């Protein structure tokens, strides 16, 4: 990983500009969800993330979903509770680890996943159709590299990102 002092930007692009572009990209990526899925299926964005991730991988635990999605555990817990109340997911005790609760889609959840998956695929295809295959690979590498940097921990397990971006005391 590069040290912060070695990061160099060209004069026409500041770190704040790049961050603003990333935040705008995030907001634009959510537009199809809020326009086409949210109200129709009575599902929040975090519930959508949880349902789609479980649908994709089959079975997992809440803490694993938090790690995979980057969503905090409290938000995942709320999404799981709502999806469970709606009978879209079921929670079972893992027979190999009695403390671990596994999450799976119910038949209702699986049907919803299969209804929403084509929209998610359309978003991905639309997003990348302007790029060549090598650019998509490079973009994925950049996103993974930045994500790894954001997920780095110190020896005590603290987030380096949160520690190094802590506001100065006034």
Query: Do 120 and 149 belong together in one domain?
Result: no
Residue 28 included in any domain: no
Q: What's the pLDDT at 8?
A: 62
Q: What is the pLDDT along the chain (170 residues), one digit of tens a residue?
A: 455 555 566 667 888 899 999 999 999 999 999 898 999 999 999 999 999 999 999 999 999 999 999 999 999 999 999 999 999 999 998 888 888 899 999 999 999 999 999 999 999 999 999 999 999 999 999 999 999 999 999 999 999 999 999 999 87
Backbone angles phi, psi at 159, to 5 degrees: -65, 120
Query: Do 102 and 139 belong together in one domain?
Result: no
Query: Do 118 and 138 belong together in one domain?
Result: no
Residue 45: both structure tokens together? 């964005």
Residue 96 included in any domain: yes
| Three-state DSSP state, 93 | strand
| Three-state DSSP state, 136 | helix
**DSSP per residue, 84-114:** HHTTSEEEEEETTEEEEEEEEE-HHHHHHHH
Residue 24 included in any domain: no
How many domains are contained in the chain?
2
Query: Do 112 and 138 belong together in one domain?
Result: no
Q: Can you give the residue range of the structural domain that contains 151?
A: 131-170
Q: Which residues contact 86 (CB under 8 A, 6 or more apart)?
A: 42, 108
Q: Which residue has the tokens 């959840």?
A: 109
CB 50 within 8 Å of CB 76: yes
Pairwise CA distance, residues 45 & 66, whole Å: 14
């Amino acid at each position: 990983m590069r040290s912060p002092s070695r990061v160099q930007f060209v004069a026409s692009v500041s770190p704040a500009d790049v961050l603003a572009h990333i935040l705008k990209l995030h907001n634009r990526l959510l537009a199809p969800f809020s326009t086409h899925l949210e109200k129709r299926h009575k599902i929040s964005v975090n519930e959508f993330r949880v349902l789609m991730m479980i649908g994709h991988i089959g079975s997992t635990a809440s803490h694993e979903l938090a790690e995979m999605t980057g969503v905090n555990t409290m938000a995942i817990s709320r999404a799981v509770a709502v999806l469970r109340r709606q009978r879209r997911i079921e929670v079972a005790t893992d027979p190999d680890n009695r403390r671990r609760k596994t999450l799976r889609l119910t038949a209702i959840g699986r049907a919803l996943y299969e209804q929403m998956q084509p929209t998610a695929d359309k978003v991905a295809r639309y997003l990348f159709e302007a790029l060549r295959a090598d650019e998509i690979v490079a973009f994925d590498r950049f996103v993974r590299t930045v994500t790894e940097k954001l997920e780095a921990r110190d020896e005590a397990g603290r987030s380096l990102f949160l520690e190094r971006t802590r506001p100065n005391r006034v």
